Amino acid sequence: MRTHRVSDFPEANSGGAIPKETPQQLGVSASRLQAAVNACRHLIPAAGQPTQAALQRSWLDFRTFARCMRRRGVTGWPDPTPYPNHPERPTFALQTTGLVLSSPRVARVIRACVPLLHGTNPQRLGESG
């Protein structure tokens, strides 16, 4: 991807999954990103989908992250649930929890626990502040 002029393309995480990024996040146009994807598609193992082992690891990491959050005092942090668009993948349903992720206390705990996700952080927890 980088040789096709998408210089900020991220590394795969420890589970082998490639983080999904928008053209804006990568600093390129949609057409440039699509051209690079098309040129590199043959290099992506399993068509870019995580393996069953990587999915199981991701679920374990999300449960461990949730326990870390609660142990550190964010008692309303939910267990992971299936992501609606890809139910094999975990997510945190945070919309109805009433948690304010940007509050200094919650943000501090997120930053402390986010390494437990081993690079699988589709909700970008801890990245804004």
Instruction: Tokens for 3, please give them.
Output: 């040789």
Distance between CA 33 and CA 24 in Å, rounded? 10
Give tens-digit pLDDT for 32-52.
988 988 888 777 655 556 777
Instruction: Tokens for 71, please give them.
Output: 């142990």
pLDDT computed for residue 49 by the predictor: 67
Q: Comparing C-alpha atoms, which of 75, 40, 65, 46 is closest to residue 122?
A: 65
Give tens-digit pLDDT for 16-32.
667 777 888 889 998 99
- Once rounded to an integer, what is the mean pLDDT over residues 1-27? 79
pLDDT computed for residue 48 by the predictor: 56
How far is CA 4 from each of CA 35, 74, 123, rounded to the nearest angstrom?
8, 43, 27
Higher pLDDT, 129 or 121: 121
| Cβ–Cβ under 8 Å, residues 36 and 7 | no
pLDDT computed for residue 75 by the predictor: 93
pLDDT computed for residue 99 by the predictor: 92
Q: Please give the model's pTM, rounded to 2 decimal places.
A: 0.63
pLDDT computed for residue 46 by the predictor: 59
Q: Comparing C-alpha atoms, which of 52, 66, 41, 76 is closest to residue 125?
A: 66
